[in-house]
């Protein structure tokens, strides 16, 4: 049995002899690289918190002292030390989540992978413990990977500082990065705090030199005192935190377990809110991660553990890559195009635009709300901002989309990567809400490209609109095979036409975005049963083309297939349009149930929801058959 395998719970970590901690840390790093290389996951962030996590569990009593990770992708080591060491199915169906999970362990309090939230949870938990008389318990929030750039974190700090005797320990895991180098004034502030260690070393050297100097007198010591004060004022800006009413400890070497443990004990025993500033290195101990220029192996697919080389699939073109290329082309054509990212320059595909047009690229940190309203200001100033963001993170700036961008009718384009079922990262990352929440925004226009050619075309159409916000949404992973149009109805593409196959107009199937391939296969399966299906891609699903209503009136049944929650999305919009036009054709909507989906592969999740061509063809055949039988009964003479 390895030392790591003997760690079943935090008590085992506490009992471990101090001199064996480096051995445990080495085993954890070896385990991380070996296991995550097979499954993919967040390698760099967890390599950077090994000693810190060990120290946390040696000082605090989880779960009585809740430990909250922000963001949650830093929790792999925490999982190992709380009895979860089977990483064979990490981020796969039936395996461990890549984030904290309340279903997995009592040691996981929050399932957060949306950043900058842990301090607010900590504030509430500390208040609850105070009200319940649990004054000897602490709440620990580990915030890092750029999460302190989010505005919500500072709202929480403002309240935590009022806590007085509430025991909130805020561990700032400062590795200077989120996915890539952390941007903004706060990052510069933390960078200046790192100079404190250099200051202490310089002061010690000055004292040592002075003690060896034969000329010793009060003036020299006065000068030294003045030097000390001047340097301290210049390079110890922790005063900012202390002015908020927060005790500050640090900065400390987060890879020195004993130093970290000592600092955490001081913080625990202080009796009020404390910030412990830990300096760590993302990817620590694994050379390929340490030397990776982009993100220190922040989040990877499977890779070769020896070399760090990704196990890439040759010839696969991803949606993000198509967007990236088209943005660079648009930037060359239009000097008013501006790129904005919320700490995800590389994951969203804006890096190439940033390298080509650095003066027109802004990384605002993990601050989606600010991104949307800042973009509104840019638009008011004559630019056309393109905000690249994961679909799930658009939820965080809905008010700004509504009341800032849309209310002021500004031309801003939101490009939503990872839309629909994303799978591996679980409930927080599925982009299944945007088609619903955006329906209520007046004036907003929304496109859903089905393939690479449509993404390029619809992005260009979007940035040509200057009097309303526009949105494009596209999924994670490889681009779907191109599905050419066989005709057009208004601005919509016809992908299959029942009359062309010599079949009756039984079913109008509205396929949204990448569901086009599924829709066409459904039509082909039903055609084999003698049922005529016309498949339409509306391209722009908000507003819907008026021609859709006229087209729908000719069919027995209308169905909508979309990769979004069923409530309030495109299916509901189509049904509402038909009702408003007094078109009495039944509408069936097929999409994601309104529930949080567990992690798993996309195709497995879609199959579980019945969104496969086989399942859809069967259900729609039954619907059309019932409708046909009902019509036949109505046509029979009375009596």
586 three-state secondary structure:
coil
Neighbours of 136 (CB within 10 A): 10
Domains of the chain and any CATH numbers = 4-182+237-290 (3.40.50.970), 319-473 (3.40.50.970), 488-635 (3.40.50.920)
**Would the pLDDT of 406 be above 80?**
yes
Helices (H), 438-487: 452-463
Residue with tokens 């169906």, as numbered in its chain = 93
Question: Looking at the predicted structure, is the pLDDT value of residue 254 above 60?
Answer: yes
And the tokens for 414?
Answer: 């939101």
Note the Cα 298 to chain centre separation in Å. 13
Region 81-105 average pLDDT: 90
**What's the confidence (pLDDT) of residue 210?**
46
pLDDT, position 623: 95
pLDDT at 239: 67
Q: Which of 251-260, 460-469, 539-548 has the lowest mean pLDDT?
A: 251-260
pLDDT in tens, 297-317: 777 888 888 888 887 777 789
| pLDDT for 242 | 75
Reference 307, options 326, 286, 293; nearest CA is 286
Instruction: Write the pLDDT tens digit of every residue in 413-441.
Output: 999 999 999 877 777 888 999 999 999 99
Please state which of the ranges 32-36, 109-113, 380-384 shows the lowest mean pLDDT: 109-113
Which helix (H) or strand (E) element contains residue 257? Answer: helix 257-270
pLDDT at 533 over 60: yes
Instruction: Out of 96-110, 347-361, 524-538, pick the least confident.
Output: 96-110
What's the CA gap between 35 and 331, in Å, rounded?
41
3-class DSSP string for 87-98: CCCCCCCCCCCC
Beta bridge partners of 385: 338
Judged against a pLDDT cut of 50, whether residue 241 lies above it is answered with: yes
DSSP 8-state symbol, 536: E
The C-alpha atoms of residue 164 and residue 329 are separated, in whole angstroms, by 55
Residues forming a β-bridge with 181: 177
CA atoms of 626 and 4, how far apart (whole Å): 61
Q: Which of 2, 11, 136, 147 is nearest to 68 (CA)?
A: 147
> For 480, which DSSP code?
P
Task: Return the higher-pLDDT residue of 608 and 512.
Answer: 512
pLDDT value at residue 191: 57
Q: When comparing pLDDT for 242 and 356, which is higher?
A: 356
pLDDT band at residue 613 under the 50/70/90 scheme: very high
pTM assigned to the model: 0.84
Binding site, annotated residues for thiamine diphosphate = 73, 113-115, 146-147, 175, 286, 368
Distance, in Å, from the CA atom of 417 to the CA atom of 394, rounded to the nearest integer, reads 10
Residue 266 CA to residue 249 CA, distance in Å, equals 9
Could you list the residues known to form a binding site, using ranges: 73, 113-115, 145-147, 175, 286, 368
Active site residues: 282, 368, 396
Q: Per-residue confidence at 200, pLDDT binned at 50, 70, 90?
A: very low
């Amino acid at each position: 049995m390895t030392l790591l395998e003997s760690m079943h719970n935090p008590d085992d970590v506490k009992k471990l002899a101090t001199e064996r901690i480096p051995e445990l840390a080495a085993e954890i790093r070896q385990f991380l690289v070996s296991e995550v290389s097979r499954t993919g996951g967040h390698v760099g962030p967890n390599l950077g918190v090994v000693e810190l996590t060990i120290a946390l569990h040696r000082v605090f009593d989880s779960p009585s002292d809740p430990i909250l990770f922000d963001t949650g992708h830093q929790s792999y080591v925490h999982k190992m030390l709380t009895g979860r060491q089977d990483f064979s199915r990490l981020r796969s169906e039936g395996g461990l989540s890549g984030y904290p999970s309340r279903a997995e362990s009592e040691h996981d309090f929050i399932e957060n992978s949306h950043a900058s939230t842990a301090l607010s949870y900590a504030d509430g938990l500390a208040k609850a413990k105070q009200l319940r008389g649990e004054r000897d318990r602490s709440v620990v929030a580990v915030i890092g990977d750029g999460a302190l750039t989010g505005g919500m974190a500072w709202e929480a700090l403002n309240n935590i500082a009022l806590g007085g005797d509430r025991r909130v320990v805020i561990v700032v895991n400062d590795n200077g990065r989120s996915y890539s180098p952390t941007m903004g004034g706060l990052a510069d502030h933390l960078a200046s705090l790192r100079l404190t260690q250099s200051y202490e070393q310089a002061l010690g050297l000055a004292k040592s030199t002075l003690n060896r100097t034969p000329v010793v007198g009060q003036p020299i010591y006065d000068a030294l005192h003045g030097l000390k004060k001047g340097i301290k004022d210049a390079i110890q800006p922790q005063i900012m935190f202390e002015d908020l009413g927060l005790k500050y400890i640090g900065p400390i070497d987060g890879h020195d377990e004993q130093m970290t443990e000592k600092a955490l004990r001081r913080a625990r025993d202080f009796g009020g809110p404390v910030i412990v500033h830990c300096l760590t290195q993302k990817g620590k101990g694994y050379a390929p991660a340490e030397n990776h220029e982009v993100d220190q192996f922040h989040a990877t697919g499977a890779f070769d553990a020896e070399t760090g080389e990704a196990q890439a699939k040759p010839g696969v073109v991803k949606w993000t890559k198509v967007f990236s290329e088209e943005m660079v082309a648009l930037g060359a054509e239009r000097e008013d195009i501006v790129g904005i990212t919320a700490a995800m320059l590389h994951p969203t595909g804006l890096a190439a635009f940033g390298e080509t047009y650095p003066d027109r690229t802004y990384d605002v940190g993990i601050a989606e709300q600010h991104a949307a309203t800042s973009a509104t200001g840019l638009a008011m100033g004559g630019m056309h901002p393109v905000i690249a963001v994961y679909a799930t993170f658009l939820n965080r700036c809905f008010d700004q989309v509504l009341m800032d961008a849309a209310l002021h009718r500004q031309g801003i384009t939101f490009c939503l990567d990872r839309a629909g079922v994303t799978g591996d990262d679980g409930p927080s990352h599925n982009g299944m809400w945007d088609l619903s929440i955006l329906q209520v925004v007046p004036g907003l226009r929304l496109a859903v490209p089905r393939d690479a050619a449509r993404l390029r075309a619809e992005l260009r159409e979007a940035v040509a609109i200057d009097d309303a916000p526009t949105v494009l949404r596209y999924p994670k992973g490889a681009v779907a095979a191109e599905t050419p149009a066989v005709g057009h109805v208004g601005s919509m593409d016809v992908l299959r036409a029942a009359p062309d196959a010599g079949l009756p107009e039984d079913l109008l199937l509205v396929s949204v975005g990448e569901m086009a391939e599924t829709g066409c296969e459904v039509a082909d399966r039903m055609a084999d049963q003698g049922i005529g299906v016309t498949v339409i891609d509306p391209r722009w699903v908000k507003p819907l083309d008026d021609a859709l209503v006229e087209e729908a009136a000719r069919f027995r049944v209308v169905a909508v297939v979309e990769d979004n929650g069923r409530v309030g999305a495109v299916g509901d919009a189509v049904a509402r349009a038909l009702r408003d036009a007094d078109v009495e054709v039944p509408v069936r909507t097929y999409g994601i149930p309104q529930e949080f989906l567990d992690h798993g592969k996309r195709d497995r999740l879609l199959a579980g929801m019945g969104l496969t061509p086989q399942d859809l063809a069967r259900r729609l055949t039954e619907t059309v058959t019932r409708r046909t039988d009902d019509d036949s009964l109505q046509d029979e003479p009375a009596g």
